[in-house]
């Protein structure tokens, strides 16, 4: 079963384009907390590419921007390509099936700053 669920912070404004079937596509990246501290005591993050199509892309256009905290449910997609240098490259992204904005209580934000 190919299922992925996560909560992350959008690291840059979403990019929109139209795919072959005429539907709008949204692409963005989220930082997801690893729950692991580095040598300086800071939380480490994974940066995960996300693609959304159709109604989920419409939701992104209306609600999502850099700094938004989102919960995403989707599936992992992987593919490869070979550019002109001849070295095969592999990519992965989450294909979002559902997405919601997450509201963080102000008290939690204040605690994080301490």
pLDDT tens, position by position, 59-96: 999 999 999 999 999 999 999 999 999 999 999 999 99
Domain map of the chain by residue range?
Answer: 4-113
First to last CA, the chain: 40
CA distance 25 to 90: 21
Residue with the larger pLDDT of the pair 110 and 18: 18
CA torsion 48→99→111→109, rounded to 10°?
Answer: 110
Whole-prediction pTM: 0.81
Q: Which CATH number fits domain 4-113: 2.60.40.420, 2.40.50.100, 2.40.50.140, 1.10.600.10?
A: 2.40.50.140
């Amino acid at each position: 079963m190919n299922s992925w669920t996560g909560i992350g912070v959008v690291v840059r404004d979403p990019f929109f384009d139209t795919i072959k079937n005429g539907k709008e596509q949204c692409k963005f990246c989220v930082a997801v907390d690893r729950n692991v501290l580095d040598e300086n005591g800071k939380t480490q993050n994974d940066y995960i590419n996300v693609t959304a199509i159709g109604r989920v892309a419409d939701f992104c256009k209306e609600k999502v921007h850099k700094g938004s905290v989102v919960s995403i449910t989707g599936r992992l997609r992987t593919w490869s390509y070979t550019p002109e240098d001849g070295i095969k490259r592999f990519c992965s992204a989450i294909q979002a099936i559902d997405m919601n904005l997450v509201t963080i209580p102000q008290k939690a934000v204040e605690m994080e700053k301490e």
